[in-house]
Amino acid sequence: MNIKRKNERGNILFLILIAVALFAALSFVIMNSSRSGGGDAERDKAKLAAANILNQVTAVRTAVGRLLIAGCGADQLNFENANDTLHVNPNAPTDGHCDIFGSAGGGVIARTADRAAVVSDPNFYYSGSSAISEIGTTCTDPECGDLTFNLIGVTQALCLQLNQANGIRLPIGNLPTDTQSICPYEGTFDCNGNGTTQVVFTAPELVGRDSFCYNDTVKGLTFTHVILQR
């Protein structure tokens, strides 16, 4: 009888050990699956956010081109919108026909980035204070200033997706650095009326690029896209 009970106890202990091993293996698989799924989900969100941003870039750039053809001067383009009060252009016609986001002008809907895709500020900034190296004419004179679309403080995942969409495959640690003022556009191609355009994107990886997510030494990961070359 004792031998039988010992055998039963041995069998039960063996089954428990098997159950523990199976549970550990299952937990390992689930954890790995969750991690993999989480990574895929983050990538998918970043891809969607990047697509929405690039769609907005296209809409704004198309509107800029259309308004210039219609007779608006570059200094009359007005990026004033409901999301901020930084882009009011005093040179813009009062009837609104040079307003990018106005129904009488470009008719573009003013949007922001997905809040989950940026570190803090989801607003897009439109600037004329930079001359992008080898895009149009490059100099420090305001006549060389390019109009740019900017998103400041993006996540690493979004930065990678924006660059991949432009055929750039650099890991975050290898991104070139630069520093831009990105002064909101108010009708002049300088920063707050200082009469000077800042030459940027001089690093070999950035020269001649009209769209790039780079590491700004002050603002962090930043996406810049040229919407008007000059």
% of the chain surpassing 70 pLDDT: 83
In the prediction, which pLDDT does 60 show?
98
In this predicted structure, the answer to whether residue 210 has a pLDDT above a threshold of 70 is yes
CB count, 10 Å around CB of 93?
16
What is the percent of the chain where pLDDT is above 90? 77
Predicted local confidence at residue 63, as pLDDT = 98
Q: Where are the beta strands (DSSP E) in 59-183?
A: 125-132, 146-152, 177-178
CB 111 within 8 A of CB 56: yes
Query: Can you tell me the distance from the alpha carbon of 155 to that of 136, in angstroms, rounded to the nearest whole number?
Result: 30
Tell me the whole-structure pTM to 2 decimals: 0.82
Rounded Cα–Cα distance for residues 131 and 108 (Å): 25
| pLDDT digit string, tens, across residues 68-94 | 999 999 999 999 999 999 999 999 999
- Tally the C-alpha atoms within 13 A of residue 150's C-alpha that lie toward its C-beta: 28
pLDDT of res. 41: 83
Q: Structural domain of residue 20, as residue ranges?
A: 2-228
Per residue in 12-56, pLDDT tens? Answer: 445 445 544 543 443 343 334 334 455 688 889 999 999 999 999
How many other C-beta atoms are found inside a 10 Å radius of the C-beta of residue 181? 17
* Count of structural domains within the chain: 1
Whether the CB-CB separation of 116 and 49 falls below 8 Å is answered with: yes
Specify the higher pLDDT residue, 84 or 99: 99
Q: What is the pLDDT of residue 75?
A: 97
Q: Which tens digits make up the pLDDT trace of 178-206?
A: 999 999 999 999 998 899 999 999 999 99
Q: What is the DSSP string of 168-210?
A: ----GGG--EE----PBPSSSSSSTT-S-PEEE--STTTTT-S
* Average pLDDT along the chain: 87
What confidence score (pLDDT) does residue 61 get?
Answer: 98
- The residue that leads in pLDDT, 139 or 37, is 139
